[in-house]
Structure 1
């Protein structure tokens, strides 16, 4: 059987009465495998091992006899012997393509694997240019992508359907290098995916994946659905880039963010679309690189709305997102090697953020900067910002240092930190804070800076390491009868001269010594 056949449909026939035996060769006849077919069942004998043939749904394929000929699907034969099948509607041609043989999985050291050499593909474009319209590419075997473009290839896909079943042999290789992804661009390749549908239903089956310098996937008007674990919607690693416009994404598995980057500072840019994640530990956005989202709706039902790990960023413009579990947005450093150590940055302009449980912003074992302007914030727990040690990092040195910059931004909720964590709040251009600051006097340090146009509406006794106020009359502090303690020993508070000041609402600003 040749690798390309002009058969109409996906049927192979052989004129036999009781049984059929055939040999199928791939890779220039260097591999020969035998298929034995009986009337009642199909048995695949591969290197002495018997395996029942399966179709794309996982059901056993049975032959049928017509006019003395046994018929069975070409796809089942091809995949049984290590080939993948695709059908070109325009030419009515079935293509059987040899898979890539791989050895042991590469070490997990960053950058050591060659994504182009990992796994196989139903449709592989190697260094050339092609365009496909209204095609369907199905990958059902382990470590097989539906479409893979390598070696600087350029592919345009219009109105295609990509389907991926069959799990990964290495979750790390799927996360870092796109093994088993439905659509994979590697080796400086470029893919345009327009008005298309991608469905994956296997572990480690990311939908769209770009990895390596110069590798870019541009997605427009797509619908993406993944149902199993470690299967993200859009993912970029090792400086790969994914750009998506008006794309709708739904994921259901654990560790399956709708928008993600992983090792090596990938970039994802999203405009428009609706994203929904329902799995445990599957935030709407997970960044170990650079992610920007504009005019989108993002809902995470089993996790935080977004997570930033290490020295990376998320920028949101007029985007509405919500997280149902743990917190609204988490900034942390895991020390797993997935992200460089440094300052994580969240920037939100317009749009909204809702946290149904936990703090609106939570930081641990990292340095973080949060920039907010005109964002609608909703927080059921009453905690605006929490900085504390958690399970990551070295005990005693795994707190957080967070700066929250508010520009024309209303803030509601308390600010808390533990004894090895610090928070700095900077309110400008008519921003406001309604809540307490370090009410338990537990923080390593917490400072507040107000310009003359910004207001702190105090809801309980609070402690400040440093207070800076552009209104020297302090009339922009609405004390509501509560006491605010400041560190008299801090140079930043020298302008208060250690005095106790009665505020307009009957409360006091009074010194304490740390």
Structure 2
């Protein structure tokens, strides 16, 4: 072999070694975020092209199938990873395409991937629900940039917005006053499309407002309304007061997003929550805000979409603390909220039968305080599926029932206290999970009415039984069940269920004179 050939072989070997070295310690995984917390991430796996490739494939992306978004092509799989302590996940959201650097099962680095989306004719079309509104808006910011700072606007017209931002327009406003009277003639358009709202942004527009007061006195006159994909409203140091019926303080629908901080929101009419995401694609993130809802059916928060609230304080004097509808999601962090409706938290699924079963609501509460003055349960649901996770959250209520379940409830406590029984309607399902020192003081399905009921406990958590309870499944890290204080009651379990194989169909004496026994 000649000298030149030997040199070429040596170079090839070096390149192969360099290519192999990164794979020894880490690997790259592409996907779209499905769930993310401080310590864990779940992604939908698939293929992602580079940003430059995305530009070349813009025409193909416009014709993408249902499981394609931008330049991400799902492969039908998913993966779970732990996050290293160095990763800050607070700015990462579900639906974001990412490239993960993974060592074993731990993510060491995350790169968010942004793909240019091709313009389509439909993205430039006017929302048909806004054509009439654009003709009657007092100030129309349509396909242009406007700074309206220091100016005041007032309209008395029915079905008219004080300010409407549309067609990718942009509004800047500071130190202004906006007022609105005049009723809507179409309640559905007001609730879902912002007809008659004081300020609305739509059609991929954006608005940034601060140090401004908004007041409305008409029916269906919401305060701030965001609707349409890529529409974003940023609101800071704002006072909102609505007095008419069906007039929320904040509302977002159909992909519209509101980021709010330092607000004071007061509503007086019926069906007028302070904060509302009234359609499943609406998103509201609100921080350091005071809310006061006085009317009937006017909770602090109503969500069919997504609402994240941090350091929000206030109450609803004639309604539940929060109402979730269908697949709505509410995340509470360091909030102090009170209500006085039929229950503290109300979940409603509008469908029937299978369609209701497919609706899945989510409530997460961390380091919060929830108070209801009603005699009803803390949580009530009439159908559908609801997942509730509470961590270090105090619940004050005078009733003896923590949750009344018609549908499927998954209730998880993390360093939490649950006081009150879980009452199950015929055909319902409940899954209670007690973790990290959680205390549950109550009974589960004491009437043996549920289709399925289960309790899962770690060794550090405690169940103080207040009545006989019926379980299909019991999982307990303490195999002696010393963490179940029976108070003389019996916990019945299904000996034929696989989760109960460890009990071997036997009767186990429990602290307090009661027992764990197979049901006949």
Q: TM-score, normalised by structure 1?
A: 0.74
Report the Cα distance in structure 2 between the residues aligned to 1:499 and 1:285, rounded to whole angstroms: 47
Relative to structure 1, the CA distance from residue 417 to residue 339 in structure 2 (aligned partners, 3 Å threshold; closer, same or farther) is closer
Relative to structure 1, the CA distance from residue 187 to residue 348 in structure 2 (aligned partners, 3 Å threshold; closer, same or farther) is same
Of 246, 250, 262, the residue aligned with 1:234 is 250
Of 312, 318, 321, the residue aligned with 1:302 is 318
1:200 maps to 2:216: yes
Aligned to 1:509: 516
Write the deviation string for residues 424-470 of structure 1: whole angstroms up to 9, x where unpaired: 00111111101111122222221101001100011122221211100
- Note the C-alpha offset of 1:489: 2.5
Aligned to 2:282: 266
- Note the C-alpha offset of 1:364: 2.0
1:356 maps to 2:373: yes
> What SS does the aligned partner of 2:148 have?
strand
Aligned to 1:100: none
> What SS does the aligned partner of 2:307 have?
strand
- Note the C-alpha offset of 1:340: 11
Aligned to 2:177: 161
Of 140, 144, 151, the residue aligned with 1:135 is 151
Tell me if structure 2 keeps the 8 A contact 1:275–1:298: yes
1:381 maps to 2:399: yes
Write the deviation string for residues 457-485 of structure 1: whole angstroms up to 9, x where unpaired: 11122221211100011110111111211
Write the deviation string for residues 159-190 of structure 1: whole angstroms up to 9, x where unpaired: 11110100012111101110000001011111
Aligned to 1:68: none
Aligned to 2:349: 333
Aligned to 2:387: 369
Report the Cα distance in structure 2 between the residues aligned to 1:480 and 1:220, rounded to whole angstroms: 53
Correspondence list, 1:433-448, <5 A: 433-448=440-455
Aligned to 2:131: 117
Relative to structure 1, the CA distance from residue 165 to residue 318 in structure 2 (aligned partners, 3 Å threshold; closer, same or farther) is same
Correspondence list, 1:445-456, <5 A: 445-456=452-463
1:170 maps to 2:190: no
> What SS does the aligned partner of 2:413 have?
strand
Q: CA RMSD in A?
A: 1.8
Correspondence list, 1:23-62, <5 A: none
Write the deviation string for residues 103-141 of structure 1: whole angstroms up to 9, x where unpaired: xxxxxxxx9952431322111111111112222110101
Correspondence list, 1:82-97, <5 A: none
Tell me if structure 1 keeps the 8 A contact 2:170–2:207: yes
Tell me if structure 2 keeps the 8 A contact 1:194–1:221: yes
- Note the C-alpha offset of 1:208: 0.3
> What SS does the aligned partner of 2:161 have?
strand
Larger Rg: 1 or 2? 1
Q: Which runs of 5+ in 1 are unaligned?
A: 1-110, 389-399
Aligned to 2:429: 422
Report the Cα distance in structure 1 between the residues aligned to 2:368 and 2:290, rounded to whole angstroms: 14
- Note the C-alpha offset of 1:271: 0.3
Relative to structure 1, the CA distance from residue 301 to residue 461 in structure 2 (aligned partners, 3 Å threshold; closer, same or farther) is same
Write the deviation string for residues 201-241 of structure 1: whole angstroms up to 9, x where unpaired: 11010000011011111110111100111100000011001
Write the deviation string for residues 30-61 of structure 1: whole angstroms up to 9, x where unpaired: xxxxxxxxxxxxxxxxxxxxxxxxxxxxxxxx
Tell me if structure 2 keeps the 8 A contact 1:369–1:402: yes
Report the Cα distance in structure 2 between the residues aligned to 1:379 and 1:360, rounded to whole angstroms: 7
Bigger helix share = 2
Q: Which runs of 5+ in 2 are unaligned?
A: 1-124
Q: TM-score, normalised by structure 2?
A: 0.73
1:181 maps to 2:197: yes
Aligned to 2:330: 314
Tell me if structure 2 keeps the 8 A contact 1:311–1:340: no
Report the Cα distance in structure 1 between the residues aligned to 2:456 and 2:467, rounded to whole angstroms: 18
Aligned to 1:149: 165
Aligned to 2:261: 245
Write the deviation string for residues 278-326 of structure 1: whole angstroms up to 9, x where unpaired: 1111111111111100001131111111111112211110011122011
- Note the C-alpha offset of 1:406: 0.8
Of 341, 346, 364, the residue aligned with 1:347 is 364
Relative to structure 1, the CA distance from residue 512 to residue 449 in structure 2 (aligned partners, 3 Å threshold; closer, same or farther) is same
